[in-house]
Structure 1
Amino acid sequence: MTAENETPSACAGSSSRAVRDALDVLTGKWKLPILMAISIGAIRFRKIANEIPGITDKMLSKELKDLEINRLIERTVLPTFPPTVEYSLTRHGRTLDKVIAELSAWGAAHRKEVTGN
């Protein structure tokens, strides 16, 4: 029997579960672009919105809350009047830097494969 025909090991089940967990947190049209916008450093809501064409304020607010719940970003209210709010990646959120870089490289290679450009 070749490796291609072998029955998946028990490890494949836990690996599959881990991939599903990651996709549950990161899927959707907006989460990765938001994380990429925030990766440059602490950034305000309006600047994030300006960095992501097509996102509505309502959707950005919803996605920011979701990313905060998943401990990928943190929201800091600065003591100004009116209050200023900034968003930044958490230490846990920074662990996605390599993942996003790999996705970017794969996306570029895939585009070249499919379109020839």
Structure 2
Amino acid sequence: MRTTTKENPEYCAVESAMEVLGGRWKLAILKTLVPGTLRFGEIRRALPAITQRMLTRQLRELEADGLVTRTVYREVPPRVEYTLTDAGQRLDAIMDQLDTWGRWYQETVHRPESAADVP
């Protein structure tokens, strides 16, 4: 079972951040929502490798942690939209920095072996 950030000691803010943002998909979902409100299907199409079940689970956790707002429109068929809260929007610059670092890492540290490197 997932712990809450309230259960983490005060001295460990990084642990609290990782509890909220940890996992394969959370930052990708948040980055997808930066430009604006999206419906569930739009998020799913933007992240084709995620399963419907995992997307639902991650969105529920992000909503519970106050990073995403879920709005249900009572119409037929039902429409559900997701948008970043102010707390979620504050992560935009951090996500940009992580994206920059990830690209650097892929290109320099974890680059695919070229044909010249293979014996």
TM-score by length of 2: 0.79
Displacement of 1:93 after TM fit? 0.5
Question: Is 1:18 aligned to 2:42, yes or no?
Answer: no
State the match for 1:91 in structure 2.
86
Distance 1:57 1:63 in 2: 10
Find 1:60's aligned residue among 55, 58, 61. 55
Q: How many residues align?
A: 102
TM-score by length of 1: 0.81
Larger radius of gyration: 1
Question: Is 1:77 aligned to 2:108, yes or no?
Answer: no
The letter of the residue matching 2:62 is L
Residues 36-55 of structure 1: pairs in structure 2 closer than 5 A:
36-55=31-50
Percent of residue pairs identical: 40
Distance 1:37 1:111 in 2: 21
Distance 1:34 1:107 in 2: 16
CA RMSD of aligned residues (A): 1.6
Unaligned ranges ≥5, structure 2: 1-9, 113-119
